[in-house]
Amino acid sequence: MTIHKEGFGIITITFIILLGLNILVNIFISSNIFISYSFGILSVIFIFFVLWFFRSPNRKMVSKDNIIIAPADGKVVVIEEAIENEYFHDKRIQISIFMSPLNVHVNRYPISGKIVYYQYHKGEYLVAWHPKSSTHNERTSLVLKTLNGVEVLVRQIAGAVARRIVTYSKIDSIVNQGDQLGFIKFGSRVDLFLPINTRINVEINQKVIGNKTIIGYLE
């Protein structure tokens, strides 16, 4: 288990602020040992929560061309046929994974291929499980094209708490299944838009693990 690089800045700032507050508490409320100790304990718990949020577990996986791996930890909240209007402009199978603040927030490429499309969109901050969050919230969209010419769209969506999406993707880059795609901070969602003939391997409300759970099989 390691700490993701996206957390270094926030962890450092959080530690400095909590250290300063604890010093002030001990200076001005030194007569009340209960308050001093309680504040110190709560500070330690909070810093451990921040460290836990930015954890980045090392997960081994078996890469196969026809397998779609979960791009994130979380719960499957949508499995349906939908019209994807940003890139494909036709019917696709939409799989949406909701990540709570307790989930690992590293995002990974579900398949290997070439990045043929990338776009960042400013937007609102509806709760991530809201049906309109896929098209109304702050988000990034990227399309991966396999060697066989199959295209899969991955969309990172910010939630009501998340205010920053990090994406490492660049147009024309060749990426490997399971490599880090990016990171979404403090609650979010990832959508997949798959070919209509994809054989789906998950169910609604199923908990999935990034780089472990098989979402489906490309035909």
Domain boundaries, the chain: 2-56, 67-217
The model's confidence at residue 190, banded by pLDDT at 50, 70 and 90, is very high
Question: What is residue 112's three-state secondary structure?
Answer: coil
State the DSSP code for 130.
Answer: S
- Identify the active-site residue in 43, 96, 141, 188: 188
Q: Are 176 and 64 in contact (CB under 8 A)?
A: no
Q: Which residue has the higher pLDDT, 31 or 160?
A: 31
pLDDT at 216 over 80: yes
**98-122 average pLDDT score:** 90
Is 100 among the residues known to form the active site? no
State how far the Cα of 200 lies from the Cα of 66, in Å rounded to an integer: 12
Q: What is the CATH number of domain 67-217?
A: 2.70.70.10
Alpha helices in the chain (DSSP H): 8-28, 33-53, 133-136
Q: Is the pTM of this model over 0.85?
A: no
CA 145 from chain center: how many Å?
21
Amino acid symbol at 218: L
